[in-house]
Amino acid sequence: MLMPHHFQITERVQFSETDMAGIVHFSNFFRYMERVEHAFFRSLGMSIIDPPEHGADRVGWPRVHASCDFMAPLKFEEEFRIELLVEEVRDKVIRYLIRLWHQDGTLAGEGRLTTACVRKDPESGRMKAVSIPERIRSKIEAAPAEMLARPGR
């Protein structure tokens, strides 16, 4: 399960994540997607918040794009699985494909996160997209195409 392109965690729906329709509010699917992204970084011995020891080499990962298809609602106290696949690693960008699975093996949702590698420009003080540092790049690779194809239902 610990590969440089695949990672998964199991979570339980919390009451405060539901809405008056009795299901998880759709905005929380994006929080679940971020949760597995950050756990993926930890699984590789890193943190999405680059530690201060990296000094001027420190990078951040703002979102460029996020999307989700909602197939079946998640409900209170349900345990579900969040599966992350690295869809593409480009020079300055990583794209993730993330699936949320009910315990019976049906898809609750499938989403994508595109994150850019940025560093604070010392002159302007603004965030600027930069090449992913080798110390990170060497740990992450795209998943094989067959893992990325949406599973039939």
Q: Say if residues 112 and 96 touch (Cβ distance below 8 Å).
A: yes
Q: Which is nearer to its own copies, 6 or 25 (CB)?
A: 25
State which of residues 4, 6, 8, 26 lies at the interface with its own copies (CB under 8 A): 26
State which of residues 4, 44, 58, 70 lies at the interface with its own copies (CB under 8 A): 70
Nearest alpha-carbon partner for 67 in 109, 33, 111, 103 = 111
Q: Hey, what are 16's tokens?
A: 């405060």
Note whether 35 binds its own copies by CB under 8 A. yes
Maximum distance among all Cα pairs of the chain, rounded to whole angstroms? 53
Distances (CA, A) of 69 to 56, 93, 108, 111: 38, 22, 9, 6
Closest approach of Cβ 83 to its own copies, in Å? 18
Note whether 97 binds its own copies by CB under 8 A. no
Note whether 22 binds its own copies by CB under 8 A. yes
State which of residues 4, 6, 8, 25 lies at the interface with its own copies (CB under 8 A): 25
Note whether 66 binds its own copies by CB under 8 A. yes
